[in-house]
Structure 1
Amino acid sequence: MTNKFKIINDPVHGFIKIPYEILFDVIEHPYFQRLRRISQTGLLNLIFPGATHTRFHHALGAMHLMFTALETLKLKGIEISRDEEKSAMLAILLHDIGHGPFSHALENMLMDDWHHEKLSLLLMNEMNEEFDGELNMAIEMFQGKYHRKFFNQLISSQLDVDRLDYLKRDSFYTGVSEGNVNTQRIISMMNVSDDELVIDAKGIYSIENYLTARMFMYWQVYYHKTSALAEHLLVKILARAKTLVSEGHSLPASQNLMYFLKRNHFGTATDEDIQRFTELDDNDIIQAMKFWTKSEDKILSYLCKSVIERNLLKTKISSKPFDTEFIKEKIALTNAAFNIENGTELVDQISRSLLPYSAEKQPIYLLLKDGRKITLENSENQILSSYINRPNTKYILSFPREI
């Protein structure tokens, strides 16, 4: 008999326990093991060399924080059954199971509007059949259909264990200290009121620090101009490859990747769609880009070389859209330099927007000593919350270095 009550040594959280056998079985499943080959942060390692961690790391870390949060709530008198605890840990463990190659970068590129959460639910249902319905409650929690709302809020909200893990983990691997939030302090301040997740009022500054840390991580790391460009290039490469394949051009690629390059419309996912998707990972994309650097198509070849050789396009960043005439000038110079007619394939304006905290969408509530709940931004003790609920947008213009 296999001992399934394992302990995993994690560089971020230390030792992670697996307290239920079903958790071990899910981790061992091929769908979950695929996450070892899916980057947590796309091509971020082109900018921060240490950012080579995977979705597998992150899912285990989020599961650990879920366990810690539920143990904290139980100590505060919140009744949580073993089935609920197990299901909440299963739900967070599987919350990213539907991520495709390079995580968010190629989302919607391979299977149209199949967002990773939609794919996660599809794969969770597939696995639930294999495990004879043991994931029923976990799926309810994941979908927000379980009658105790705080379980879903721990999985997906403005203050969930998913965000707590990826901020601390991405901060660790990138070396950007601004994201190193105190997860233990935040979790120790969690509570439940009327079956909703709340924060003990004395924890307000830890929450504000968490929100600002997330904001800085987005602008300094995730939305870094070169990071945004690299992610955009991946999308451009796959879009160009799809166009060429649809025009009858022959491109070398793995069978699973070619399957998605040839398909343009996905309605209800077929068994073959699922099988192909769950056999696809970062390696398929990297292999294809290496092949395509030698493509006869100038644009595809140039874009792939940019990523593989890390000879990325030049970027400029602005707080407002770039002048149309300036962009046209860059396109004209590109057309002349590359002897092509459509320089828009190599000159792009992309934007990134962030709302650090939304006071309308699932606001964070503070629990006062008298039992009343107030929203974070309405606390008389808040310092930053009323200032970080405004969206901010940056514009990035990219063009070949040759011009």
Structure 2
Amino acid sequence: MTPATASASARFSLQRWWSIVLKEFLQLRRDRVTFGMIVGLPIMQLLLFGFAINTDPRQLPTAVIAADQSEFTRSFIASMEQSTYFKLVGTLPDERAGREALMKGEVQFVLTIPPDFTRRLLRGERPALLVEADATDPSATGQAIAALPQLPYRVATHDLKGALAPLAGGRPPFDVQVQRLYNPEGITQYNIVPGLMGVILTMTMVMMTGLAMTRERERGTMENLLATPVRPLEVMTGKIVPYIFIGLIQSTIVLLAARWIFSVPFVGSVLAVYLAALLFIAANLTVGITLSSLAQNQLQAMQLTFFYFLPNILLSGFMFPFAGMPGWAQAIGNILPMTYFHRMVRGILLKGNGWFELWPNLWPMALFIVVVMAIAVRFYRRTLD
């Protein structure tokens, strides 16, 4: 190389620089997964944060136990619905049915009207209505509970006229007693810490499994594995088992921290928590295996993991109230296993839910595992070909 050539190569060349730029654009165009993430992630974040996230949930499912029916009770129920915080979904026969509905998560509120409510109201005795709230998530019920004290004034304005006008007076004609169940102090940690178990397991299980498969493919050890007489299902389940133990260790760490650091109550069975965690770990590992079959390298596996993790953390009810999301967002959330796991672990720890209350959340997660595992086996066979 002559001194003139060396001097020319040492100088910054726009032509060489532009060649590198074009090469990178070509590389991005060939990497369809990365290109999809560049376009897909901003769109997903805009849709989720712009439309799905709502910190002031309304239309919360409410049931009524009506032992007394009159124009006053009907007016109060109508005022609840007009406030837009409550949505009447049905009536219940007794207090036991109301508690069961709250424990299963079928309703957020139960309004109980005592049998002598109207008679005591007309006598000026200021009777009380009872509103029981599922307060496991304080952010989901806080605004609705704050709206309740104003509703008796609406009933007084609407119904206590003429000869009944003196009953209105300056005070409300009746009281609304609110009973916050399962988290009466409204402590946020009681809701967040159990939910963190689902977040941690989702992030680590999906990522670790996805990287494990793609790592073998990049290092060339996958060919040695394929040369052995093993079936795709045997390979995938064999790779999953070690991570199950890792997931159980992580669950134990979260449970110990919840009990001894954050003082989260353990009302239900710890064994039920571990069985729910085991099922949830299996669901996440099947997702990780499937994503690893789609990814060509570890970078793509991490990108797909994040693409899966984002809707889980936003639409499962962990960060934002599930009841406050629009219908389409709830439909997506009802596909994700983290949604059901959050309901189960919070229900076990805070409500003491048993298998009868857990079953509506158990079978969707089991179905998710079967469907995703079938997809993983199919894509794995395609990878073998």
* TM-score class normalised by the smaller sequence: under 0.3
Report the TM-score, using the length of structure 2 for normalisation.
0.26
Using CA pairs under 8 Å that are at least 6 residues apart, name the structure with larger relative contact order, 1 or 2. 2
